[in-house]
Chain A
Amino acid sequence: MSVATPAPLQEQITLLELVDRVLNKGVVLTGDITLSVADVDLVYVGLRVLLASVATLEDAG
């Protein structure tokens, strides 16, 4: 059994930014979205929370 280590903050932000771009940007060919809306929302929530936590960390420092 292995224990997952949380990715460093910068890596998490980069991953969220990548997913944000992949899901929301890029050329649209057919207009069909094959991903459930809930997952897209989750990405936004994740990013907001992450930005807020960065701010908190900086305030503490």
Chain B
Amino acid sequence: MIHVYAFVERLERLPDVAGIGASPIEQHGTGVAAIVSRHADVHRGDPRVAAVAHGRVVEALTGLTQAVLPVRFGETFGDQSELADVMRGREAQIRAALEHVRGCVELGVRVAGEALQRPATVAADGTDYMKSRLALLAERDAITHGLHERLETQSRASVRTERGGFEASYLVERECLEAAQETVRGFAAAHPELTVVCTGPWAPYSFGGAAA
């Protein structure tokens, strides 16, 4: 069984990092290469530990090359030819996605706080509920709009996730990383009532859409 971590342009050398269950990593492919490891049973053991090992391999690749396309955890293939078939069918998309993320890292921003995640009050009816829900979303957007807008100008692309509070990922060129982090720090300083969490730089997990 082959577990896939990421796609890269074929590397001259692999990073010094072990894969899931301390297995060695390999690369397959000539132009575009898949970073993989082989397992008798990849599902054995704690999946959370395996997920972290997957992430560590991807992060190690980011330190070695300018274009890394992380693959979601859990993609396995029976053998090398099965993987090669999928790669042949997707090569153009994978190349396009690698170009899109080249030279960039991902910055994760979450903003939480009472003003953004106020527990819903008991609504009299459905209309009432929708009104209060919309009001809360409008309030949240009013607070975070400036932050999001500024970060968008500092990034190549962005993705927002709707999970209650404000949550977004930004594809930032490495040279702009410090400025983007400074934007978040400035926002956090101006809003001491909110919890602002800024993580990264990550590999561009949220920006592989072109290869999907």
Contacts and interface: CB of A to CB of B under 8 A. Distances in A.
Given A19-B48, A19-B51, A55-B195, A35 B73 contact: yes
Nearest to A47: B110
| Interface size grouping (class) on chain A | 20 to 34
Contacts, number: 103
In the complex, which of the residues B52, B69, B205, B211 has the most CB atoms of chain A within 10 Å of its own CB atom?
B205
B208 A27 contact: yes
A9 to B, nearest CB: 10
Contact of B76 (A21, A26, A32, A36): A32
A25 B192 CA distance: 30
Interface residues of B, number: 44
B206 interface: yes
27 contacts: A13-B197, A13-B199, A17-B202, A18-B202, A19-B51, A21-B106, A21-B202, A22-B51, A22-B55, A22-B58, A22-B72, A25-B70, A25-B169, A26-B205, A27-B94, A27-B208, A29-B4, A29-B90, A30-B75, A32-B74, A32-B75, A35-B73, A51-B165, A51-B197, A54-B112, A55-B114, A58-B195
